């Protein structure tokens, strides 16, 4: 076995690999990477280096983890999961990422491919018009500082109270669409200024809004799919991938500077400056946690307003209301977040960066409608190849702090992808394959070409076989809005 590291990598099972603490000075716990042998062989050297760096951070418990969609990131690898003791551990913006509460949302419909295909061009045009995309795009929701304080502290509920959604949406959002402990006083004026007018916008990068099909032969667990409202039979669903936009980015930037100084004060040394951190219970740690929760709530609100706009677009094209079209929320889940959660070790600050919470059946944190089957886990693939709906398992709670993969994971830099194909060429290729794309930027479209990502089916199979999530349905794209 040859991997992109000189460190010893021990096979624990066909899908779990471990780097012992003896492989790097300062490691406090082993590092564990999920994936098949071929997935690990294709992982970049940064994953092995970064996950073992994370294993050196104060207060870490059990393992530093990386999911099979892992690749190099800022400080922590994308796909990274790490849990720290609340009393003796740290919190790190590098373990959350710049796009705080980047996450996924899935909306079901009663429509079928046969219903939508004749109106797909009009539908995508309407969605593109109603959901602003691209760098620096602005939303339509009227906002002043007092209103934005409400968004930061109340999240998706703030939106629903103003007509942007249905009250029953809240129970199908992680934490009800609002993390407690958000304090706008911990957020800089510059961050507020960047976020104030971005509610209801997709942004750029790998963010998207996608119309997808759930075909009958791509349902793998009918009972769980039915509980999630997925019936197959070429059913149409809508997937949204975006986060806290410039607001979350500024929160992360502000606190990385603060933490670099704070580490000297607390005598913390880290193997990589991008792992800047502070004790969770320190003044700096608590301020970041409060500001990060503000950004997380803003991301929940952002996806809520986008959902409202999606329902309005469908209603305009099909002449029936979102309710009449059965446009219920399946779930909304973060994949860039730090939260205090209770495990066998006690209360831990669980960092998930490019990793999804995956609660198993019976969890009291799930709405009653999902308690018998486990949490919906929404995994976005490349815009060319499709996405997956999975379900959380009890084994994830035991093995990975209730966490699993979030997407397919990049294999190629954005720069390299743009050198390999032109956006206009990709647009035509996708159209020929039955995927209609509306993109703000052709270079941004080229960055997201399918060949720049791992095969999501391989990644999904590995977490399914590892037992940390189970496969429910594959979703095929027919229309994509790209920032």
The residues annotated as belonging to the active site are 406
- Cα distance between the two ends of the chain: 40
Pairing of strands 436-439, 469-482: parallel
Q: Which pair of structure tokens corresponds to residue 247? A: 């607001």
User: CB within 8 A of 160, min separation 6: which ones?
Assistant: 166, 167, 169, 170, 304
Distances (CA, A) of 157 to 166, 168, 196, 300, 354: 9, 10, 17, 9, 25
Tokens 């946690």 belong to residue: 289
Alpha-carbon span 288 to 183, nearest angstrom: 10
Q: Measure CA 261 to chain center.
A: 29
Residue 408 three-state SS? coil
Please say whether the beta carbons of 478 and 434 come within 8 A.
Answer: yes
* DSSP states along 179-192: -TT--GGGS-HHHH
CA contacts within 13 A on the Cβ side of 80? 33
Alpha-carbon span 318 to 320, nearest angstrom: 6
């Amino acid at each position: 076995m040859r991997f992109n590291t000189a460190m010893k990598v021990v096979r624990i099972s066909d899908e779990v690999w471990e780097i012992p603490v003896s492989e790097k000075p300062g490691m406090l716990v082993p590092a564990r990477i999920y994936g098949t042998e071929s997935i690990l062989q294709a992982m970049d050297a940064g994953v092995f280096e970064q996950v073992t760096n994370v294993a050196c951070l104060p207060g870490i418990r059990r393992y530093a983890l990386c999911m099979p969609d892992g690749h190099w990131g800022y400080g922590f690898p994308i796909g990274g999961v790490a849990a720290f003791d609340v009393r003796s551990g740290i919190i790190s913006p590098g373990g959350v990422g710049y796009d705080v509460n980047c996450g996924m949302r899935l909306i079901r419909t009663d429509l079928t491919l046969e219903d939508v295909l004749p109106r797909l061009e009009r539908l995508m045009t309407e969605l593109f018009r109603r959901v602003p995309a691209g760098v620096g795009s602005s939303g339509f929701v009227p906002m002043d500082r007092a209103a934005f304080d409400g968004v930061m502290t109340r999240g998706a509920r703030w939106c629903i109270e103003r007509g942007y959604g249905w009250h029953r949406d809240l129970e199908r959002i992680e934490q009800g669409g609002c993390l407690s402990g958000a304090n706008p006083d911990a957020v800089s004026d510059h961050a507020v200024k960047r976020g104030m007018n971005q509610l209801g916008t997709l942004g750029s990068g790998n963010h998207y809004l996608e119309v997808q099909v759930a075909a009958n032969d791509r349902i793998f667990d009918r009972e769980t799919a039915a509980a999630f409202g997925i019936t197959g039979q070429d059913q149409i669903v809508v997937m949204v991938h975006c986060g806290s936009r410039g607001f979350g980015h500024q929160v992360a930037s502000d606190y990385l500077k603060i933490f670099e100084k704070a580490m000297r004060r607390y005598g913390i040394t880290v193997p990589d400056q991008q792992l800047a951190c502070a004790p969770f219970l320190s003044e700096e740690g608590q301020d970041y946690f409060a500001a990060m929760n503000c950004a997380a709530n803003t991301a929940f609100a952002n996806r809520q307003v986008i959902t409202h706009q999606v329902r309005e677009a469908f209603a305009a094209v099909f002449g029936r209301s979102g309710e009449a079209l059965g446009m219920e929320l399946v779930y909304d889940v973060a994949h860039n977040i730090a939260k205090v959660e209770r495990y066998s070790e006690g209360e831990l600050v669980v960092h998930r960066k490019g990793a999804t919470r995956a609660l198993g059946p019976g969890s009291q944190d799930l709405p009653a409608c999902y308690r018998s089957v486990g949490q919906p886990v929404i995994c976005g693939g490349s815009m060319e190849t499709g996405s997956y709906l999975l379900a959380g398992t009890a084994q994830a709670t035991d093995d990975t702090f209730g966490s699993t993969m979030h997407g397919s994971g990049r294999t190629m830099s954005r720069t390299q992808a743009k050198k390999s194909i032109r956006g206009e060429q990709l647009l035509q290729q996708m159209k020929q394959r039955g995927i209609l794309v509306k993109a703000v930027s052709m270079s941004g479209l080229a960055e997201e070409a399918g060949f720049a990502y791992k095969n999501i089916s391989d990644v999904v199979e590995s977490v399914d076989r590892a037992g940390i999530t189970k496969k429910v349905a594959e979703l095929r794209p027919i229309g994509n809005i790209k920032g």
